[in-house]
Structure 1
């Protein structure tokens, strides 16, 4: 179990994680884009995929430096923030606007951006929770198994597992039975590939952040005796 001590940057990393998570889900989720990539062709994806993987980078950094137990608290903080944002969005969008042309038009814009269906909200929250815990668990186990070596292999390997769960769950829950099966599978594969590519590209940045935090915090936690129950809130 992580020792009961304070850290200089842990709270800042938690705040950054929750900020990225909320922005990626509230701002990016409403925008779908299509671009042409060399050798691949046309790819359609939600714009949030450009930023959501940053939350996995934070998850890797938290587990690598502070351990699974402290990352678990951050995941629950993010989960709570997502649930509150979903409830607040539903309440704000559901409130009737004044009966004038401007507010009626503005209401339609709010509904377009924040009026997600219950299935999309449920898919987003469940996929984040499951994917993040899978990512953290694999990261922690691989660190002990590899005795702290090959950080790049651990960050990419854990992301491959976590993002697979995240992407699969979200689209199946949100769009299963609505989209044609072929389209559903195509979008899941595209999202999964893009999210994983982010992790690979950001590996040098992850190395620098991890090295900085380990040096400043004097911490390099190994989860040898950790209770991996995701429902524990104690570190």
Structure 2
């Protein structure tokens, strides 16, 4: 296919594939809650906010989501609103597809020998473990998908709003600014759907405290990864050539 000889087409396919893989992976590993302090080997940092308290515990998916932010901004930079919308809907569809077949896999009758195959590793019931890991609650799944799509659509508009004001300067500003607004919405929407209107019925103070903590974590991670944004841009310019990269950016800005 001659279309695949175009480096811009190859680049978009690669970015879309990597974006979707990260989005799907973030959803599936997000069932694990990890202790940030323990991971860093430091003493627990107890927080107290709005009458709620706890330690710095996050879903494992938050390790990958900052990379998704970088990918979103990179696609936005070179392929515009249409490109980001396409990969966002594709990623959401793949996440839903993955959860559907995880649900089907859970309800397949397990082989008798397999259920107890990992007893020596401390897993007495493989089927129960499999169901617990891959059978995330419906409210969490719905909340995560809705928050993801809303966040992505907001990111698109904020990114191009800042771009219209700054031109091609300050790539870090439009990337960080769009993430700051989109993740403010995302961080609270997912918790609201999953844990406030969901069966757990979190009190407002807990909802606001956990949402604020998650948002601060995401923003710190996004800021820390700004150098990765510039590395990605440098790699793309080297791959496409300066003139082709400039042409794509101009076209992307024109569709804002």
Which bracket does the TM-score occupy, shorter chain normalised? Answer: 0.7 to 0.9
TM, length-normalised to structure 2: 0.79
Is 1:44 the counterpart of 2:57? The answer is yes
**CA–CA distance in 2 between the matches of 1:86 and 1:210?**
33
Deviation per residue, 1:70-100 (Å, 9 max, x gap): 1211111111111101111111112232455
Corresponding position of 1:32: 33
Deviates more, 1:47-56 or 1:17-26: 47-56
Q: What SS does the corresponding residue of 2:250 show, helix, strand or coil?
A: coil
**In structure 2, do the counterparts of structure 1 residues 137 and 215 end up closer, same or farther at CA, with 3 Å as the change threshold?**
farther
**CA–CA distance in 1 between the matches of 2:96 and 2:159?**
26
Segments of 4+ moved more than 4 angstroms: 37-40, 222-225
Give aligned pairs, total.
Answer: 222
- Root-mean-square deviation (CA), in Å? 2.2
**In structure 2, do the counterparts of structure 1 residues 67 and 215 end up closer, same or farther at CA, with 3 Å as the change threshold?**
farther
Bigger proportion of residues as helix: 2
**CA–CA distance in 1 between the matches of 2:144 and 2:34?**
19
**CA–CA distance in 2 between the matches of 1:153 and 1:35?**
27
Q: 5+ residue gaps in structure 1?
A: 229-235
Q: What SS does the corresponding residue of 1:33 show, helix, strand or coil?
A: strand
**CA–CA distance in 1 between the matches of 2:250 and 2:21?**
25
**In structure 2, do the counterparts of structure 1 residues 199 and 38 end up closer, same or farther at CA, with 3 Å as the change threshold?**
farther
Query: Residue 182 of structure 1: CA displacement?
Result: 2.3
Q: 5+ residue gaps in structure 2?
A: 1-5, 47-54, 118-123
Aligned match for 1:66, one of 79, 84, 87: 79
Deviation per residue, 1:2-38 (Å, 9 max, x gap): xxx75331111111101111111101x1111233478
Corresponding position of 1:14: 16
TM, length-normalised to structure 1: 0.86
